[in-house]
Amino acid sequence: MTKQNVIVSDTGDITKSTINMAITLTLSSKSLFTYAPMPSSPMQKPPSGGFITVSRKKLWEKDDPVKASSTTHIKSPVFFSAVAEDHSSWIFHHPSALKKFDQITNASKGKQIVMFLDYDGTLSPIVDDPDRAFMSDQMRKVVKEVARYFPTAIVSGRCRDKVYSFVKLAGLFYAGSHGMDIKGPAEYQKGNKPVLFQPASEFLPMIDEVYKALVEKTKSTPGAKVENNKFCLSVHFRRVDEKWWSALAEQVRSVLKEYPKLRLTQGRKVLEVRPTIKWDKGKALEFLLESLGFANCNDVLPVYIGDDRTDEDAFKVLRDRGQGFGILVSKIPKDTNASYSLQEPSEVMTFLHRLVEWKRLTPRT
Q: Min. distance of Cβ 122 from Mg ion in angstroms?
A: 5
Mapped onto helix, strand or coil, the DSSP state of residue 251 is helix
Nearer to Mg ion, 15 or 310 (CB): 310
| Of 308, 312, 335, 347, the one binding Mg ion by CB under 5 A | 308
Residue 120 touching Mg ion (CB under 5 A): yes
Residue 345 touching Mg ion (CB under 5 A): no
Residue 312 touching Mg ion (CB under 5 A): no
The phi and psi torsions of 37 (rounded to 5 degrees) equal -65, 145
Q: Min. distance of Cβ 333 from Mg ion in angstroms?
A: 17
Stretch that binds Mg ion, among 26-34, 70-78, 120-128, 353-361 (CB under 5 A): 120-128
Nearer to Mg ion, 25 or 172 (CB): 172
Residue 280 touching Mg ion (CB under 5 A): no
Q: Rounded to an integer, what distance in angstroms lies between the CA atom of residue 96 and that of residue 168? A: 29
Residue 63 touching Mg ion (CB under 5 A): no
Number of residues near Mg ion (by CB under 5 A):
5
Q: Rounded to an integer, what distance in angstroms lies between the CA atom of residue 142 and that of residue 161? A: 21
Q: Rounded to an integer, what distance in angstroms lies between the CA atom of residue 175 and that of residue 288? A: 9
- The C-alpha angle 16, 21, 23, rounded to 5 degrees, equals 160
First to last CA, the chain: 64
Q: Rounded to an integer, what distance in angstroms lies between the CA atom of residue 323 and that of residue 335? A: 20
Q: Rounded to an integer, what distance in angstroms lies between the CA atom of residue 33 and that of residue 135? A: 28
Residue 145 touching Mg ion (CB under 5 A): no
Residue 118 touching Mg ion (CB under 5 A): yes
Q: Min. distance of Cβ 310 from Mg ion in angstroms?
A: 7
The phi and psi torsions of 179 (rounded to 5 degrees) equal 90, 5
Residue 272 touching Mg ion (CB under 5 A): no
Nearer to Mg ion, 120 or 313 (CB): 120
- Dihedral sign for Cα 146, 148, 149, 155, please: positive
Please list every residue from 191 through 250 that binds Mg ion, using CB under 5 A. Answer: none
Nearer to Mg ion, 224 or 314 (CB): 314
Nearer to Mg ion, 86 or 308 (CB): 308
List contacts with Mg ion (CB under 5 A): 118, 120-121, 307-308
